[in-house]
Amino acid sequence: MIGALIVRDLNRALRGGGLWLPLAFLLLIASLFPFAVGPDANLLGRTGGGLLWIAALLASLLPIDRLIEPDRDAGVIDQLVVRGTGEGTILLAKLVAHWLSFGPPLLIAALPAAALLKLDSSTVLMVELGLALGTPGLAALALLVAALTAGLKGSGALAGLLVLPLAIPILIFGAGSLSVAGVGALKLVAASSLLLVVLCPLAGGAALRAGRD
């Protein structure tokens, strides 16, 4: 059951521009940044890692209005619930599909982006590790907020406003891992990410249930 849901959601994400959209987004930001702040390799090397984190956070928001609302509106979620699928299971499947559609593409795009920003190899390693640990949390956060705002007018913009402050801990720990804090900050990224991944099916499922009444 959950496998079929993941495959369906992933297919929909791919049709909606998943995979290449986050990839292009990250590369676009990484190539624009040197034009904006100048080609000083030292400056780029110091700020580039944090920039990649901001880009990753924004990339997780790109499909936020397509995560829940179309399925809720079309009655797909109702049909799944009638078949005995829990709302939590539905959200878990959507979480896996959403992460697959933007997490791995970001990890791949971060490599050429790091070259554009002239990051050294140890920074690249920390960015990749941090993104691998942090993107599941970002995916969970985007999905949770999408579930909370599904059915509201202008939910896409509202969802963006809600996610950004909540994503600050992951951003701080993720960017912090690039400076002195190192591996300790990565552990905190992993902890925040885990918390969000656990919270998303529970709270998001409750939001979907409440939204039906």
Q: Tell me which residues touch another protein (CB under 8 A).
A: 1, 4, 8, 12, 15, 73-76, 78-83, 85, 212-213
Please state the separation of Cα 208 from the chain's center in Å: 20
Give which of 77, 74, 205 is closest to 148, Cα–Cα. Answer: 205
Phi-psi region of 166 (alpha: psi -120 to 50; beta: other; left: phi over 0): alpha
36 vs 213, beta carbon nearer another protein: 213
Smallest gap from residue 7 Cβ to another protein (A): 9
125 vs 212, beta carbon nearer another protein: 212
76 vs 108, beta carbon nearer another protein: 76
Eight-class DSSP state of 40? -
48 vs 65, beta carbon nearer another protein: 65
Smallest gap from residue 208 Cβ to another protein (A): 11
Smallest gap from residue 79 Cβ to another protein (A): 5
Give which of 119, 159, 136 is closest to 56, Cα–Cα. Answer: 136
Give which of 19, 37, 20, 22 is closest to 116, Cα–Cα. Answer: 37
